[in-house]
Structure 1
Amino acid sequence: DLMGTLQAACGGDLNRVKRIVKVMSLVNSTGDFTEQHLVTNGASELLGQVFGEAGVHARSAFGVAQIPLGACVEIELIAELG
């Protein structure tokens, strides 16, 4: 979904992405789960594979008690477009 949203923001052309600036991840977690960063790795790795050096980004991952609509993970992305 995130890549599709980014592609739509680029008018369908992902080559317009100059760089991925930041990724923030909210992970539906219990109080004793502390590995939210590992859950977020998949998104970071995909961005690196798709955008190469331009996909290197700042990142934060947080555990939350509940995400709307029962989602497991919510990811926010900030990208610089050209």
Structure 2
Amino acid sequence: MTQIENKLESLGLVLPPPVAMPSGVVLPFPWVRIVGQRALISGHGPQHADGSLAEPLGKVGRELTLEEGYEAARLTALGMLGSLKRALGDLDRITAWVRVFGMVNAAPGFDRMPAVINGFSDLILTLYGPEVGAHARSAVGLAELPFDIPVEIEAEVEIRD
């Protein structure tokens, strides 16, 4: 097992399989696109360990609390790591988390998007440490997200061969 997989196991965390999309939904793009020494990661949402979309669904600040939004962002990190594991074969190939773009399905008046996306960033920093895990980041609120998910996050990492 790799160093990152050992850390995940020690935290009792499991990487989910590919997301189980709703019936009839076809996505014409890869979850991870490798270009040179970079892996560009398409927007991911929160998943259960079986690959299904994680509940609760809805807007943070209305159907979800800040804490539930934070947990959704954490689950999103696990789904993204699962996609990276399938694409790279080894999560230890990641040499830097370069950029993270976090989107929150926000209720009108909710403005704590950075605190929600911290659920993602905190897990990445726990697993990769401050040297590799530190990343540039944006956290924005949107009126809607696909399938009413509370959080969607995309990222870019640097990788070694």
TM-based fold match above 0.5 = yes
Q: In the aligned structure 1, how far is the partner of 2:152 from the partner of 2:136?
A: 16
| Count of residues in Structure 1 that have an aligned counterpart in Structure 2 | 81
Superposition map of 1:38-57 within 5 A: 38-52=115-129, 53-57=131-135
Question: Gaps (5+ residues) in structure 2?
Answer: 1-78
Which is helix-richer, 1 or 2?
Answer: 1
Cα deviation digits, residues 5-25 of structure 1 (max 9, x gap): 121221x20110010001101
The amino acid that maps onto 2:126 is Q
1:31 aligns with 2:31: no
Q: In the aligned structure 2, how far is the partner of 1:80 from the partner of 1:14?
A: 11
After superposing on structure 2, the runs of 4+ consecutive aligned residues of structure 1 that deviate more than 3 Å are none
The amino acid that maps onto 1:34 is D
Q: In the aligned structure 2, how far is the partner of 1:7 from the partner of 1:13?
A: 6
Greater Rg by CA: 2
TM-score (norm: length of structure 2): 0.49
Equivalent of 2:91 in 7, 14, 23? 14
Superposition map of 1:56-75 within 5 A: 56-75=134-153
Aligned residues with identical type, % of pairs: 41
Q: In the aligned structure 1, how far is the partner of 2:84 from the partner of 2:125?
A: 15
Question: Gaps (5+ residues) in structure 1?
Answer: none
Which is strand-richer, 1 or 2?
Answer: 1
Q: What is the CA RMSD across the aligned residues, in angstroms? A: 0.8
Q: In the aligned structure 2, how far is the partner of 1:32 from the partner of 1:5?
A: 33
Cα deviation digits, residues 14-59 of structure 1 (max 9, x gap): 1100100011011000220100000000100111111112000000
